[in-house]
Amino acid sequence: MATGRSLVRRVASTPWNARLRELASQSLFSESITLYRSMLRSGSSPDAFSYPFTLKSCAALSLPVSGQQLHCHVIREGCVAEPFVLTALISMYCKCGLVEGARKLFDENTQSHQLGVCYNALISGYTANAKVADATCLFRTMKERCVSVDSVTMLGLVPVCTVPDYIWFGMSLHGECVRLGIDSELAVLNSFITMYMKCGSVESGRRLFDGVPVKGLITWNAVISGYAQNGLAYDVLELYEEMKSYGVRPDPVTLVSVLSSCAHLGAQRIGQEVEKLVEANGFVSNVFVSNALISMYARCGNLAKARGVFDVMPVRSLVSWTAMIGCYGMHGMAETGLKLFDDMIRNGIRPDKTVFVMVLSTCSHSGLTNKGLELFDAMKREYKLEPGPEHYACVVDLLGRAGRIDEACEFIESMPIEPDGAVWGALLGACKIHKNVDMAEVAFAKVIELEPMNIGYYVLMSNIYTDSNNQEGIWRIRVMMRERGFKKEPGYSYVEHKGRVHLFLAGDRSHEQTEEVYRMLDELETSVMEIEGNTDCDRCGEVSSSTREHSERLAVAFAILKTSPGAEILVIKNLRVCEDCHVFIKMVSKIVDRRFVVRDASRFHYFEDGLCSCKDYW
DNA sequence: ATAGGGTTAG
A36 CA vs B1 C1’ separation (Å): 17
Any strand B atom closer than 7 Å to A183 CB: no
Report pLDDT for A488.
58
A285 CA vs B3 C1’ separation (Å): 31
A369/A366 Cα distance (integer angstroms): 8
DSSP lists the bridge partners of residue A493 as A504, A573
> Which residue's CA lies closest to nucleotide B9 at its C1' atom?
A288
A148: the nucleotide nearest its CA (via C1') is B4
Any strand B atom closer than 7 Å to A120 CB: yes
Any strand B atom closer than 7 Å to A96 CB: no
Any strand B atom closer than 7 Å to A322 CB: yes
A257/A182 Cα distance (integer angstroms): 29
Chain A residues 423-452 with Cβ under 7 Å of strand B are none
A252/A427 Cα distance (integer angstroms): 41
- Residue A279 to residues A12, A255, A272, A284, A499, Cα–Cα distance (Å): 46, 12, 11, 6, 19
Which regions of A453-589 does DSSP assign to beta strands (E)?
Answer: 492-497, 500-505, 569-573
Any strand B atom closer than 7 Å to A383 CB: no
Which residues fall within 8 angstroms of residue A272, CB to CB, at 6 or more apart?
A: none
- Residue A412 to residues A136, A417, A446, A454, A505, Cα–Cα distance (Å): 39, 9, 12, 21, 36
Residue A455: alpha-carbon gap to chain centroid: 24
Q: What is the mean pLDDT of chain A?
A: 90
Chain A residues 244-303 with Cβ under 7 Å of strand B are 251-253, 256-257, 260, 263, 286-289, 291-292, 295
A538/A460 Cα distance (integer angstroms): 5
Of the candidates A550, A604, A572, which has an alpha carbon nearest to the alpha carbon of residue A271? A572
Report pLDDT for A43.
87
For strand B, the positions having any atom within 7 A of a protein Cβ are: 1-10
- In this structure, which amino acid lies at residue A427? L
Number of other residues whose CB lies within 10 A of the CB of residue A598: 25
Report pLDDT for A616.
54
| The A492-497 sheet, strands edge to edge | A500-505, A492-497, A569-573, A596-599, A604-608, A611-612
Any strand B atom closer than 7 Å to A187 CB: yes
> Which residue's CA lies closest to nucleotide B3 at its C1' atom?
A84
Q: Which residues of chain A have pLDDT under 50?
A: 1-9, 530-539, 541, 543-545, 617-618
Element (H, E) at A374: helix A369-381
Where do the domains of chain A lie?
492-612
Chain A residues 122-161 with Cβ under 7 Å of strand B are 124, 128, 150-153, 155-156, 159
A193 CA vs B9 C1’ separation (Å): 21
Any strand B atom closer than 7 Å to A17 CB: yes
A44 CA vs B9 C1’ separation (Å): 45
- Residue A229 to residues A223, A260, A406, Cα–Cα distance (Å): 10, 9, 38
